Structure 1
């Protein structure tokens, strides 16, 4: 008989959550207030003043945005109950740092998604939502900034309804709006609450629901109960029988719907004005899962490749995922880990997968933004950091020596912008290379290479801001001031039809000669790169196949037309010939390279440029100028909408035309418009554009 798994009591009192949002939705301020009301900090930090606790990098304090996912642990008691441990990862909202959000969501059990009461569902909030769907993360929504002019709680809820598959369920309504925003109405308890400004929002008191809101409260409470009935039979029975419905009935059903990723409880408030945060913390406990309520983590056995499962159980073998690596100026490289099963103590030896290295755990840390406290042990369900593990990457697994497991590695997008960089002082070159190596370990979307022709160091990343901040870090953190070139676009190459070619590398030199013949067929595909070996057995010895693949892969990385990586291609190795004495691996690598280049040219090759999704929110008065500027950049406006005196413009614009866009937008609108951008897709460069950018490349 299968023994039922019984969770350790401490696990039910843990919540591993992320806080994510679009830039400027007030997410870092929300996190600051959470730290303040849970007693983690004794003075509130403000993003605008540059004193926010979670924004601990110099660049974050200056720019007022969160760049790296900082982690912290807080404790919260609902009412007079036992304290719950909440591990919070505060993630960036700027699109150049989407990788941080993706990494964090993979190791979290639940999320708070913060929306701006004015802007509503903005591009980055849609991206975060999609990422949360991808990793099946239950979430609650917090509509913030309801004290702002133009804020509208119900309009934001409607936008969520229109754009997302999970159903948003308001469990609160705002009391007052804009300047008059005072508190919230709890639809579950049918009770109003107002926050006392003189206590910095530490205290709030119940008030009766104002008469003019009773109709709206009745309507939205009814809607909430109907939405929740689908998930709780007892609640449905009571509802149909007309029996009184208790708050705990609603919370129970709402929790089930949230954990099933079908419902999203929506709360409201104003973090800046200290309203609504305690109720948000209560909702984290009420509706987001503990580590035992999410599916067990799955991976494969690195040797047998059999499927393995790890429950949140401290008694089972240890396993953890490295979800971030950061350089600490005092301690060196820190590996942030989420422990899925078992426990790990200082001094333990664990296995690193996939390298299969055995490493000793020197120190374990509990995290609070940039402060780290040493601890003896981390166990199932907890998040912390390990000091001093070398040669690891984000996405690697740490496991028990006798029970290895490899969790699914993370996928990272390819960089789209690159610049040349050199130290201002020649003597700083070794330091520059060392620093760039550390930064590329920390951030998998940041790449470093040397241009083989010019010997320049080329760095590439997800956008202008991403590279700006890394250059800034080189100067401040690593003491290497740099000169940089202009940002350049990372184009791609691909083909539009089938191409077949034979590559021959045959040389007779008197002694041992060279002999290799390879035939390749190239085909365009929708996405990715695929290589298939279709050579009949006996045509070419098996030991030469890896060399043929290497010749293909080198060309895919280096490009044929203009030196850019090749995408969306399928390569078939179809035929070849060898010589018993003269053939070598190098010969086949060269022959496959010749075949690839010839087949590529025959396959009607084209250059592809990155296209960005641009969203601009501008006052009505500047609409004409903003659209004219987008058109001048070869952009296509895809959507226009009006929101209380503002217009939201969505457009697709070539990345090459976006450099310096924020500065132009500022001068066009006297600093009153905001914009955000994210990579959308690659698109074929027209012959006209190609002739302008690459005049030496012929037309095929």
Structure 2
């Protein structure tokens, strides 16, 4: 199961309480003390946010849970996405006073796309302004979810003491000791009886829709048995017809037991989830599936890699078969086999060694080589590939250099390890300047990476200003030709090509086709022409940014029986690219972010005015109880430092999330500025 929500809704505290109740921790760590079990990176403990998905195993009522605590911050959605891929079910945590916040919506959408069944837990009911039923309504209005209310709170804010279980009509009341086990089960408080009956009736009416026979009996006045009701709720939860909804206060240890019972009662077991599809080498589904059974050949997915104080760990979800210590397995992505040494169950930052694991388990394997996130591990005799994980392209980059000369090698090794751990983090070397460029999903993402390099690996860095990942494209079709001729004693080089370059469809990248007939350019040289054009797409002619969405058609040409070769045609294509792109009216493109801002009512005018000044296009405004949500498309270049401005405008109450949306042509003024900056940078590097 995964636990996910918005920053500060209380995911990590909820996870802590689950571990305490299941006996995996003796003293509870608090997030605000920087002591929680699943936040075990220094950066997490300091910032009070979860960056990596920590995986922990625990037991409740003879069921084993693998609990994954995911980050809520948008820069780390790759962690959420990666976790969803291996989950059978989840707990969506919402803040009782804050309700459905921008990031909750992104994570909820990801979970819907991954078809993960969920329970809703409305947390922090002891907070000022908490309102359970308001948050329930928001999940309907904002997330378009169908919450199935399973409990009602007794008291609210300071007076929140417990919950009424609608199915059993029993009240669970905790004392003020803060200990989860100190509760009593009593009858429903007299002033809540009518409300409990009203919500219980709604619960039963919704649940019985899952079974025609039970529904007919209910319509005729027969109350369904508890067993039948639970079966109906489980069926509807699995198909996401509704989401069983609970409430409590994880911090005060109230209401958590019912959530754990619900995980056992309603979330699907590994063999009840739709099996993972298998794919061919190109990533197309083959129509076969990884059946969840210990008797099948091994099929497992490496979904996370991390280095900790014990060495390299590969987190693996087993979909089919068994895995024993000493087994030899095949990595279908690399074609290499590997022997399994130590395997363990993870408990946040500790581990318990195990001898074997089977379908449905999440385990960590120690010291695997050549494995990356998304690789399939399988039986040597039954090679297969599970559906791959697709990660978003980075949109922001910074140049870094070690402060002292000796730090380069150390930095290189550290960055290599970090890339294996986080597929949305990339590194490149600038060909002209030789600088190391780090690329990521947002400012916070790169901040944390620099911090990890400094703290974990001891590499002190000089960090440049954040740079936007601009792109280039063309806007006009050009018919052209180019001849490459070189004669210098012995055999020469000759290749002539005639071609059309035209703007491609959006998001097609690079497209090559040949309409040559009659052998004027023999077929064996076509791949060389394609390779020549493709290799030039990395560097445009305006400011040297990668080129997007261009189609090249080879129409004619000429060759020489002796002097023509693949290399001659490749050189011709490279020179042709340079010659013709400049004629095709090239244009600079900038990344546009989908921005979702929450602002208190009083500050909406300021926030919208500020977004307009940042060249933002306001798409939607949704008024809520606690404020207004503003959705806008804004160029990334205008969003640097936005969190600071938003906090100032809203006295710290505003929140926002953003994700990459699309590329769009830059206005001339921006284009000129970017080109000037690139020239300045190159001139400064030339002086060095």
- Return the TM-score normalized by structure 2: 0.92
Distance in 2 between residues matched to 1:144 and 1:128, nearest whole Å: 17
Aligned match of 2:467 in 488, 494, 497? Answer: 488
CA contact (8 A) 1:625 1:668 kept: yes
CA displacement 1:49-106 (0-9 Å, x = unmatched)? 11111000000000010001110001001xxxxx100001111111111111111111
CA contact (8 A) 1:23 1:65 kept: yes
Distance in 2 between residues matched to 1:58 and 1:45, nearest whole Å: 15
Distance in 1 between residues matched to 2:81 and 2:74, nearest whole Å: 11
1:313 maps onto 2:297 in alignment:
no
Query: Secondary structure in 2 aligned to 1:407?
Result: coil
Aligned match of 2:214 in 231, 235, 259? Answer: 235
Residue 18 (structure 1) shift: 1.0
Aligned match of 1:547 in 508, 518, 528? Answer: 528
CA displacement 1:19-59 (0-9 Å, x = unmatched)? 11111111111111111111111111111111111000000
Aligned match of 1:75 in 51, 55, 59? Answer: 59
Residue 311 (structure 1) shift: 1.2
In structure 1, the partner of 2:682 is none
Distance in 1 between residues matched to 2:544 and 2:205, nearest whole Å: 59
Query: Secondary structure in 1 aligned to 2:611?
Result: helix
Gap regions ≥5 residues in structure 2: 680-688
Distance in 1 between residues matched to 2:488 and 2:666, nearest whole Å: 45
In structure 2, the partner of 1:281 is 260
Residue 271 (structure 1) shift: 1.2
1:20 maps onto 2:1 in alignment:
no
In structure 1, the partner of 2:675 is 694
Aligned match of 2:447 in 456, 468, 482? Answer: 468
Residue 184 (structure 1) shift: 1.9
In structure 2, the partner of 1:105 is 84
1:62 maps onto 2:46 in alignment:
yes
CA RMSD for the aligned pairs?
Answer: 2.5
Residue 190 (structure 1) shift: 2.7
Residue 274 (structure 1) shift: 1.4
Distance in 2 between residues matched to 1:658 and 1:607, nearest whole Å: 19
Query: Secondary structure in 2 aligned to 1:557?
Result: coil
Aligned match of 1:53 in 27, 33, 37? Answer: 37
Residue 279 (structure 1) shift: 0.8
Gap regions ≥5 residues in structure 1: 1-16, 78-82
Distance in 2 between residues matched to 1:500 and 1:166, nearest whole Å: 53
Query: Secondary structure in 1 aligned to 2:66?
Result: strand
Residue 453 (structure 1) shift: 0.9
Query: Secondary structure in 2 aligned to 1:316?
Result: coil
Distance in 2 between residues matched to 1:303 and 1:675, nearest whole Å: 37
Aligned match of 2:547 in 557, 566, 569? Answer: 566
Distance in 2 between residues matched to 1:114 and 1:134, nearest whole Å: 18
Aligned match of 1:662 in 643, 661, 669? Answer: 643
Distance 1:610 1:244, change over 3 A: same
In structure 2, the partner of 1:522 is 502
Distance in 1 between residues matched to 2:615 and 2:280, nearest whole Å: 50
Residue 426 (structure 1) shift: 0.6
Aligned match of 1:264 in 219, 222, 243? Answer: 243
Distance in 1 between residues matched to 2:269 and 2:541, nearest whole Å: 52
Distance 1:364 1:560, change over 3 A: farther
CA contact (8 A) 2:102 2:598 kept: no
* Pairing of 1:126-205 with structure 2 (within 5 A): 126-164=105-143, 166-198=145-177, 200-205=179-184
Residue 605 (structure 1) shift: 3.1
In structure 2, the partner of 1:10 is none
Residue 166 (structure 1) shift: 4.6
CA contact (8 A) 2:147 2:244 kept: yes
Greater displacement, 633-642 / 438-447: 633-642
Residue 571 (structure 1) shift: 4.2
Residue 211 (structure 1) shift: 4.1
Instruction: Tell me how many residue pairs correspond in the alignment.
Output: 676
1:585 maps onto 2:540 in alignment:
no
1:43 maps onto 2:23 in alignment:
no
CA displacement 1:184-222 (0-9 Å, x = unmatched)? 222222333222332522233233333443343333333
